[in-house]
Amino acid sequence: MARVVILGAGISGHTAALHLQRHLKKGAEIIVVSPNSNWNWIPSNIWVGVGKMTKDQVTFPLAPIYKRKHIGFRQAKAVAIHPEGSPDNPQGFVDIDYTDPTRSGQEEQLTYDYLIVATGPKLNFAATPGLGPDGNSWSVCTAGHAEQSAAALETIIEALKAGERKTLVIGVGHGTCTCEGAAFEYTFNVEHELRERGVRELADVVYLSNEYDLGDLGVGGMTFAQNGFETSSKMWTESLFRERGVRAILRAHVEKVDPGVIHYEELDGSKHTLDFDFAMLLPPFRGVDMKAYANNGDDITDDLFAPNGFLRVDADYAVKPFEEWTPEDWPKTYQCPRYANVFGVGIAFAPPHAISEPRKSPNGTIISPAPPRTGMPSGVMGRTVALSIAERIRHGDQAPLRTASMAAMGAACIASAGTGLRKGSAAAITMYPIIPDRKRFPGSGRDLTQTSGEIGLSGHWTKLLLHYLFIYKAKARFGWFMIPE
Amino acid sequence: MSDVDRSIAEAPLPTAGTLRRRKGLFYQATRFVAFNFRMMKMVTRAHH
Ligand SMILES: Cc1cc2nc3c(=O)[nH]c(=O)nc-3n(C[C@H](O)[C@H](O)[C@H](O)COP(=O)(O)OP(=O)(O)OC[C@H]3O[C@@H](n4cnc5c(N)ncnc54)[C@H](O)[C@@H]3O)c2cc1C
């Protein structure tokens, strides 16, 4: 019986595992490897970070779901891939180290017929000295981090209530960060919370980002058709900043975070400091630490993985200037070029380049967002690769692979700007395609009839609905597969 | 004042009517349906 091993149980890996099981039933052995015992609906970590949800509301244990679905689960982290197997057995295998407390210190070699790498990002706090919960700033990347942020925010609110002035800085902690949308959401959720608690007047809220303009969000900004005009996400976002009294520092690379002081460089090469009382700065992402070996033991990590640690797939990795980037550069099948039975999905695949225009300061510092790979495309990739593998297992290696290029895919993104069934608000955005195609859509590169943005209470309702729907789906409850990615 | 601060200061402010509509339950219920319909159209496209 064919064995499919999936590394990672996040949005993309877990989606792939459930679809494989649904399509192959008992016709294949499916094993998921993940160092965390829990699944986390990461988008709702924003609400944990302002104390509106608890960790338990955004996470649940994976083992019972996998048991019910007859999917094997190893609470372990993958440390090396051997795609050519060993000298006496050509079958590929993965080295895993158990993180399961009951098997702590144990290792295992897991053979596979197909491998899906869905390991998401390594939260690379180390790229910026002093960044992160072990340093001098907070994070909302995991539910645990978000809880710490909520506690720190509560202390600040108490001080504000006592009449002290405070500066809260929220944004990204390195010039090459992605996920600006999450930083944006946390900024406005914190601002909303301060207003709700009656302490907004004494707080200076600052958004600190590597974006060139507000509203870039790592996708090069968007153009919307509104009231007979083409408007930009820049103007739209600036309007929200003005309305809510939030300051912005853009085109910034955070060099280090000392206690209470952020040191940053701007795109013009100038260096600055910013004092803070509370800082939530997202880390840059890179691929998780995994090695790869040939069957003779040679280290082939650099063949399998790009320098940023993400898995090379069927993208065009030739280095070219921004003007020459095309939608065809982006991967379609997520198959590893050298090993046909290895796939990379979600944040784990190496993008060919950014989406926003790349920029460097005169000192050579890169200050521009890396491309986001949000929940919806990550889920779609997981499902697409699962279907490709299921078809190959059923019909043989010649079965055509399914495709899901980000250049042919739209995305919906709801950026929360505050909670509450009556008082909440969110920016609800759709865009098509994610990767701009300036030949098909001259000007902005996106279809104006399908790229839209609006702010309002209904966005919050949608975000809340998605929270419950996706947790229901991830728990593989009745009819889960009818909820699209 | 930095360029960014200036740009924010010059951005259009929503009118009182716009702010009311963003919170109005009836209007928002229609936007909820419209947005979810648009999102579903996009999602179904992504699955083919
Ligand atoms: C704060 C925040 C808010 C966000 N909000 C939104 C939003 O509103 N909408 C949206 O669309 N997207 C949002 N995103 C992005 C979204 O979370 C990601 O797109 C999505 O999680 C990517 O899925 P993934 O499966 O690639 O990675 P992940 O979901 O990160 O999953 C990676 C998995 O791999 C596991 N893993 C790690 N190392 C190993 C290893 N060595 N071996 C095996 N397994 C390993 C991890 O434990 C995890 O299970 C947000 C992200 C953040 C950080």
CA nearest to A297, candidates A112, A76, A4, A95 = A95
pLDDT at res. A26: 82
- Whether residue A449 lies within 8 A of chain B, CB to CB, comes out as no
CA nearest to A365, candidates A273, A463, A254 = A254
Whether B45 maps to a domain, the answer reads: yes
The count of other CB atoms within 10 Å of the CB of residue A291 is: 15
pLDDT at res. B46: 62
pTM: 0.97
Whether B10 maps to a domain, the answer reads: no
- Whether residue A484 lies within 8 A of chain B, CB to CB, comes out as yes
How close is the Cα of A181 to the center of ligand 1, in Å? 14
Look at ligand 1, atom 11, and give the residue with the nearest C-alpha. A375
The distance of A458 to chain B (nearest Cα, Å) reads: 5
Q: Tell me the chain B residues in contact with residue A432 when contact means C-beta distances shorter than 8 Å.
A: 42, 45
Mean pLDDT of B4-10: 95
pLDDT at res. A46: 97
pLDDT at B48 over 70: no
Q: Residue A467: enclosing H or E segment and its boundaries?
A: helix A457-474
Which candidate in B6, B18, B32 is best for mutational testing of the A interface (most A CBs within 10 A)? B32
Q: Alpha carbon A281 to chain centroid distance?
A: 15
Q: Where does A220-344 have alpha helices with state H? A: 233-244, 301-304
The token pair at A154 is 């509560």
Among A119, A179, A310, A334, the mutation site with the greatest number of ligand 1 atoms within 8 A of its Cβ is A119
The count of other CB atoms within 10 Å of the CB of residue B47 is: 12
Residues 6+ apart with CB under 8 A from A430: A410, A411, A412, A413, A450, A451, A452, A453, B35, B38, B39, B42
Among A280, A374, A429, the mutation site with the greatest number of ligand 1 atoms within 8 A of its Cβ is A374
pLDDT at res. B2: 85
Q: Tell me the chain B residues in contact with residue A484 when contact means C-beta distances shorter than 8 Å.
A: 40, 43-44, 46-47
- Whether residue A423 lies within 8 A of chain B, CB to CB, comes out as yes
What is the DSSP annotation of A62-115? Answer: SHHHHHHTT-EEE-EEEEEEETT-BTTB-S-EEEEEE-SGGGTT-EEEEE-SEE
Cα angle A406, A230, A268; round to 5 = 75
The answer to whether A112 and A3 have CB atoms below 8 angstroms apart is yes
How close is the Cα of A365 to the center of ligand 1, in Å? 27
Closest by Cβ to A242, choosing from B9, B23, B46: B9
Residue A42 CB less than 6 A away from ligand 1: yes
Q: Does domain A2-123+285-361+371-395 have CATH number 1.10.3720.10?
A: no
Residue A177 CB less than 6 A away from ligand 1: no
Among A37, A42, A45, A190, the mutation site with the greatest number of ligand 1 atoms within 8 A of its Cβ is A42
CA nearest to A182, candidates A49, A348, A379 = A49
| Cα separation, A83 vs A95, whole angstroms | 11
The answer to whether the Cα torsion of A429, A433, A435, A438 is positive or negative is negative
pLDDT at B44 over 90: no
The answer to whether A430 and A450 have CB atoms below 8 angstroms apart is yes
The token pair at A348 is 């784990």
Domain that holds residue B38: 15-48
Whether B3 maps to a domain, the answer reads: no
Question: What count of CB pairs under 8 Å joins A to B?
Answer: 96
Look at ligand 1, atom 26, and give the residue with the nearest C-alpha. A346
Q: Residue A387: enclosing H or E segment and its boundaries?
A: helix A375-395
The count of other CB atoms within 10 Å of the CB of residue A366 is: 15
Strands A229-232 and A223-226: antiparallel
Ligand 1 atom at minimum distance from A374 CA: 19
| Cα separation, B43 vs A377, whole angstroms | 10
Query: Into how many domains does chain B fold?
Result: 1
Whether B2 maps to a domain, the answer reads: no
Q: Taking CB atoms and an 8 Å limit, are B13 and A248 in contact across chains? A: no
Distances (CA, A) of A481 to A19, A40, A469: 8, 19, 11
Mean pLDDT of B10-15: 96
The answer to whether the Cα torsion of A358, A360, A366, A368 is positive or negative is negative
Evaluate whether ipTM surpasses 0.85.
Answer: yes
Chain A residue at shortest CA distance from B39: A412
Domain extents in chain A: 2-123+285-361+371-395
pLDDT at res. B42: 84
Residue A392 CB less than 6 A away from ligand 1: no
pLDDT at res. B47: 59
Predicted confidence (pLDDT) per residue in A236-275, tens digit: 999 999 999 999 999 999 999 999 999 999 999 999 999 9
Q: Chain B interface residues facing chain A, Cβ-Cβ under 8 Å?
A: 2, 4-5, 7-14, 21-25, 28-29, 31-32, 35-36, 38-40, 42-47
Look at ligand 1, atom 4, and give the residue with the nearest C-alpha. A43
Residues 6+ apart with CB under 8 A from A392: A114, A399, A401
Q: Taking CB atoms and an 8 Å limit, are A410 and B42 in contact across chains? A: yes
The count of other CB atoms within 10 Å of the CB of residue A333 is: 19
Which regions of chain A are under pLDDT 70? none
pLDDT at res. A227: 84
| Cα separation, A416 vs A139, whole angstroms | 17
The amino acid that residue A102 corresponds to is T
Instruction: Label residue A319 exposed, middle or buried (CB < 10 Å: 0-12, 13-18, 19+).
Output: exposed
Q: Tell me the chain A residues in contact with residue B8 when contact means C-beta distances shorter than 8 Å.
A: 214, 238, 241-242, 247-248
- Burial track A218-254 (b if 16+ CB lie within 10 A, e otherwise): bbbbbbbeeeeeebbbbbbbbbbbbbbebbbbbbbbb
| Cα separation, A120 vs A78, whole angstroms | 12
- Whether residue A232 lies within 8 A of chain B, CB to CB, comes out as no
Ligand 1 atom at minimum distance from A43 CA: 5
The answer to whether B42 and A431 have CB atoms below 8 angstroms apart is no
The answer to whether A48 and A153 have CB atoms below 8 angstroms apart is no
Closest by Cβ to B8, choosing from A242, A422, A459: A242
Whether B9 maps to a domain, the answer reads: no
Count the residues in chain A.
485
| Cα separation, A115 vs A451, whole angstroms | 35
Distances (CA, A) of A355 to A327, A358, A416, A450: 10, 8, 23, 19
